[in-house]
Homo-oligomer: A and B are copies of this chain.
């Protein structure tokens, strides 16, 4: 292990490199960008601190940024999501990495502080813990920051709250809101990987189960689609009337949490909010009910309340905690309520991270190119970058599409021609 890293076991580097290469197979768009970066060196001499889930896909992004000349340091964005072999391989590739699977909260924040030591000019964040730490604990560094990117819905919500408070001090691109990110990663990525995490933890049959999806945003859409595709009877819980109505029209049962709590077999939260499954819900759940979270923070299920209510608790098998309720019911919490796809499985498949991270790479390049041009605030990914990611992905999949003829373009921009 390099003295600049804090990882679990440097001996895992070889296995990690193989797995990083395996993920790379499914990340052709990022690979094309890496090849260009290698020539153009957009980040030559730029210090980047990245707080991300340390997975094999993230490793491919890190190598891409390094290929572009960046002076990069990496820390984990969740205590349970680090893949220790990927961390070891990154260290071996010369990228200082601070992340250990299962680290406690103190270590987690120590790692973030270590990443800030490099006095970053760009920040890459997933959930905004790096950015908020920077804005509260290392404010003296803020003036040196060119900009940053944010990967996930939860982080974007936090940043928008910061911006609304006037607290955000540099421009941040909301990678999450790129169409080639949230339409794919949040939907197909979260959909598949969340089911995968729950399956690996429990090996339950999805067919015939009542699967309660809490939150019907893009992640919830994906989850409901995949649970339904596996034969579950899907129940959706929502607070937004338009989304709730969409769930109804998609054929799902829609009801308040207190009703769903009584009949669900498996509960998954993807709301970005806190305590969406709460004490009164635990009180009425069926014996054997299984709960998991796939939102960014482990606050969606009110675990403190569950701990208080339970008469006993034990770890049944990896990622499965059994809570014995006073009335004899047993409730199961998976992965300590942390995002189950990263805790119990391998996170999003590389193919969707390819697009998310292509947006990251291009977003960071955009920030450097427009250094000094952007005031503090939350920015969208420029539309042409977004479309370009989609076009490259299609090409890599061998899919050809049509283009508009001149006549068609003209028709779309005219208004005189009618019935």
Contact = CB atoms under 8 A, between A and B. Distances in A.
Contacts of A345: 203
Nearest to A57: B203
Interface string A223-261: 001101111111001111110111011111111110100
A25 B254 contact: no
Interface string A382-416: 00001100110110010111111101100111111
A46 interface: no
A230 B192 contact: yes
Contacts of A348: 205
Contacts of A23: 203
A257 B401 CA distance: 8
A229 to B, nearest CB: 2
B412 A273 contact: yes
Contacts of A136: 416
A22 interface: yes
A26 interface: yes
Contacts of A127: 418-419
B415 A162 contact: yes
A325 B184 CA distance: 33
Contacts of A257: 402
Interface stretch (A153-161, A304-312, A365-373): A153-161
B416 A132 contact: yes
A105 to B, nearest CB: 7
A189 B338 CA distance: 28
Given A233-B253, A390-B245, A239 B419 contact: no
Interface string A248-278: 1111111111010000000000001111100
A152 B229 CA distance: 25
B419 A105 contact: yes
Contacts of A320: 22
B254 A349 contact: no
A114 interface: no
Question: Quick one: which of A242, A254, A273 has the most chain B CB within 10 A?
Answer: A242
Interface in A13-31: 15, 18-19, 22-23, 25-26
B418 A255 contact: no
A388 B329 CA distance: 28
Contacts of A362: none
Given A226-B230, A351-B205, A394-B241, A161 B249 contact: no
A78 to B, nearest CB: 7
B408 A274 contact: yes
Contacts of A239: 401-404
A43 interface: no
A268 to B, nearest CB: 16
Given A127-B419, A180-B242, 18 more contacts: A25-B288, A77-B419, A105-B419, A161-B412, A188-B249, A196-B199, A200-B200, A204-B350, A205-B351, A229-B230, A232-B251, A233-B251, A233-B253, A237-B402, A239-B401, A245-B390, A254-B394, A254-B401
6 contacts: A22-B202, A180-B245, A231-B250, A241-B393, A244-B390, A297-B419
Interface of A: 15, 18-19, 22-23, 25-26, 77-79, 105, 108-109, 127-129, 132-133, 136, 157-159, 161-162, 164-165, 167, 179-180, 183-184, 188-189, 191-192, 196, 199-200, 202-208, 225-226, 228-234, 237-242, 244-246, 248-257, 259, 272-276, 288, 297-299, 316-317, 320, 345-346, 348-352, 386-387, 390-391, 393-394, 397, 399-405, 407-408, 411-419
